[in-house]
Structure formats: C-alpha cells, structure tokens
Structure 1
Amino acid sequence: MKVRDSQLQVLWMARIDYLKNSGVKMHTHDFYQLQLIIDGEGIIEINGQSYPVLANHCYIFEKNIPHEFHFSKETITIDAKFSLSKDLIQLIESSNLMGACKVNNIDEFKQLFQLSSANLKNPNNLLPFQIDVGFKSALLGMLQDKITEYNSFKNQLKIPVRETDEGFPMVQYLKQNLQSKVSLEEMAAHFGFHPHYLIELFKKNLGTTPMQYLQSLRLEKAKEYLEFTSYSVSEIAELVGFTTPYFSRLCCERLGMPPTQIREQMRTVVGKDIVLEQDFIIDSQPSIY
C-alpha cells in the first residue's frame, strides 16, 4: 500500500550540473517543475518572457507553460517535478511567481534531495511520503512572503509548524562564527553568562554542550560544501574552522568515510533520475545542448 501525500507528490528529483553555454530547449510538460539554482548564471525564458538566472533562487514552471534555459557559466541545480491538488494549484497560480523567487529556506530543499538520494540507494516506503510533506512545507514557506493570505491557507491545509533551534540566540551566534575560533568563555562573555550556566542552558534546550553543538554545526556545513560546491577539502576545512587533518579524522569518525569519499558518493547521483513515483514516465526528455 502506497503512503503518499494527497495534496502534493514529488514525482522525480535530480541534481543536474550544467556546463558553461549549455541548457535545455523550449518545451512543456503536464506536471509542475521547480528548478532551484544553487550556483550559476544564465537566462530562463518562461512563456515568452526572459528572467536572469540567480543563485539561491528558484523558478516554478506551471503545467503546459513553454520554458527553456541557457547557462552562461557552470551552474548547479536541483530539479523537482511534482503533482498538485486543485487547492494547491490555485495557491501557486494566484501567487504570481513567474520569474526568480528568492529561496530563504534553501537548506530544506537540499535535505529533500539528500533524502531522495538515500531512497534511490535504499528504498523505503515512508521516505517518499516524508519527501512529499517536506517539499510541500518548504514550498509554502517559500511562498509566504508572496502571498498575503498565507496564514488562512496554512490553517486550511493544516500544515504543522515545526519547532527548530533557529530562535535560540546562542545557536545563531555559533552559526555566524563557524569559521572563527570560538571558546566557551568568549561565548559566555558575549551573552553575559557564566560558562557553567551556558552549558546547562544548552543541555536543557539542545541536549548537548555548546562546543559539541558547534562541532556538529561545522561538520554539517562542511558536508554541505562537499556535496554542493567544488571547494577543495582543505578550503572547506578552513571555511568551517577545522584543520584539514582534524576535518578528515572527524568525517571518518562521525560520517564513516573520509571527505573525498563523501564527495565521490554524491557525484554518483549527480545527473541521475530519482523517480519517487513508480508510475511517473517522461514521454520525451527535453533536449540538452
């Protein structure tokens, strides 16, 4: 028995890296598509109008609307094709999202791609449902600033509000100082607390110590750099405040493999179709030039 979301189903997902001066010719399809630009430049044409390709922006292609894209430099994208229920179609179409839309929750889309990649390697009946719900939540979160009546739609669609650590000011401080040398004493002084009280505060709210949490933040950010950028291992280590040997050792201890292997594992799914709905078939793939 399939367990899928009734309002939105992610049919297919892929990370596609385009070479300079490559792209996809004009085409249409009978499903919705979201193209997220991780990095790159170029031009996207939607229904006769041209828009610039911008990093950390996405483009939504509605059903049966002609579109094409051309990239003037190497571009990294995450591409998702999905179906929508009538109420969400009305929401998307009324939002006037033609053109570039700034994505503030880009990490959510990256995590959904990682889940899709995990499902490709080790299929799990619950993962597609988790991806559906996560994609819907991320999509509506992205539309929040565009739609004045978002709250009424949120109540109507009964989307759960997830509690996160984003509002915890100490976490924001750590995220802003990933590259810097941060000590417990400096952090405590910044917030006017005794170091012991800061440790108690973290353990109560996050179940760990400040320095252990900082290490986890750095490792997660480093893993993202390995998967979605071309920075060298030593450059990534420096960007997150690690020495290269320590970074390599930490990856082996915490992630089970060295940084180079983590990157190589991700490369095996770049450009590969990740089909989340078994009945989904693209009758004719658009031409890539």
Structure 2
Amino acid sequence: MAFSQLKGEAQTPVTCQFCEESSDIRWRCINCDVFMCQICTTKIHRKIKSAEKHEILNLKDCGGIDAAQAIRKVELQDMPCSTHIGHTCCVYCMDCGKPVCASCLIESHQKHKYKTLNEIYDTTFSKMKEVQNKLESSLEFFDYEKERLHKLHLDGAKNFQKIKNEITLTEKEISEIISKYAKELVQELESIWKPTENKIKAELSDMQKKKDNLLKREENLKKIFLSHQASDIFNSRKLLDETAKKINGDLILRHYENEIYICIQT
C-alpha cells in the first residue's frame, strides 16, 4: 500500500501535491498519501471530511519508530485479508491467532472467539515495549557483570603475580629447605587461583553468549518496530513470550554473584 512507505522509501515530490506550486514540502498525510506544504496543510487539508482523524507526519520525523507506528495504525484500518483477495480484516480470531475478514467469519470462524484488531495490536505492541525495556535492562546488567568480572580477573591476576614474585624472591634468598617450601607454596597458590580463573573465564564466555543472544533478539524487535506491516506485530507474539522467558531466566541465574577472593595463608 502506498501509505506504508516512509521517507527514504517513497519519492518526495518536487512541489506540493495540493497546490502544485510550493516546493516547501513539510508534511505528509498518511491516510491521503500526499505530500503538502505548510499552507495547504493548514488551509486545504483540514477542510477534508474526517481530516482531524488523519495521521499527519512532519517529514523530518519520518523514518523513526513513531512514524512507523503511525503508518501501521492507518494500515490497520485497511489490512488486507490473507485468504480473501480484495477483503479487509475486521477482527482478530483468538482461536486461529490471526486477523480475519467478514468472509472468514462466515466460512470457517463461526464459533471462534474474537477481539478487535486495535485491542490485540495495542496489547501486543505494549508487550513489545515491555520486552524491549527488559532487553535494555538485561544488556546493561550483562555489561556491568562483564566489567566486574574483568576487574576481578585483573586484580586477581595482579595479586597472583605479586605473591608468586615474592615467593620466588624468597626462594632465592633462603636455604634449600626454604626453597623446597617456596615451590610448594607456588603450587598451592596455583591450585587455588587456577580454578577461580577458569571459572571467571567460563562465566565471561557464557555471559558473552547470552548477551549476543539478547542483542540478536533486540535487533529482531527493532526490525519489527520499523516494520510497516501490522501483521508483523501479531506475528511477534510467540517471539515476545520466548524472549521474556529468556530474560527472566538469565537474570535469576546471573543476579549479582558474590565477589571472589583468593586467600593465601603463609
């Protein structure tokens, strides 16, 4: 549909499509699918019947999530049926999980439960926003945890090297008996540090995988936010449920672990 295109996808005319004179194109009516100058927007378009219900976009705002949302809401009013050519969807079938037209209701959805398209669309979109917020919060959490573990690893490695150097120095300064004891201390130190170091590295690797998974899910959501098809919102319901469960599960498993300390008794 023509109004499903945003700025950058549709060719902006040289002159206003109302007066065909002014080149100062500032507005676009999604319902009428016309580009207008300021004067025509104020003096002509507002006189059109039901114009107060039209979605008018400033060209500088086109291309963002809000503009895509406005276009989808208009497209929702004339959403084509996937089964009957030339028919528009009027309700959402809860049993089949898809928008249907009047012919669909008569033919194969007579005993099904329905809700309005706007209700399901708004509910799903709100859930998308909720999941998006959780994604952002989770990504911030993983960034914080990654930084904490990196610092923990760095401090631990420095402390490990410091102690090892002191032990090595002591080994050179004392007798053969003390030298043997120093070597035993190094081995003991390594037996304490290495499992901790390996655990930190494993946690860093696991965290990166989880973060990459969340980034991928976030990217999919962003594509849906910018989609011009209302059907994409409905199709995202399963993805939203899976993503919400994934976020909640990850947060429970990774919630603020205790600091790891290496204690060496001499």
TM-score, structure 2 normalization: 0.25
The structure with more radius of gyration: 2
Is the strand fraction higher in 1 or 2?
1
Higher relative contact order (CA 8 A, sep 6+): 1
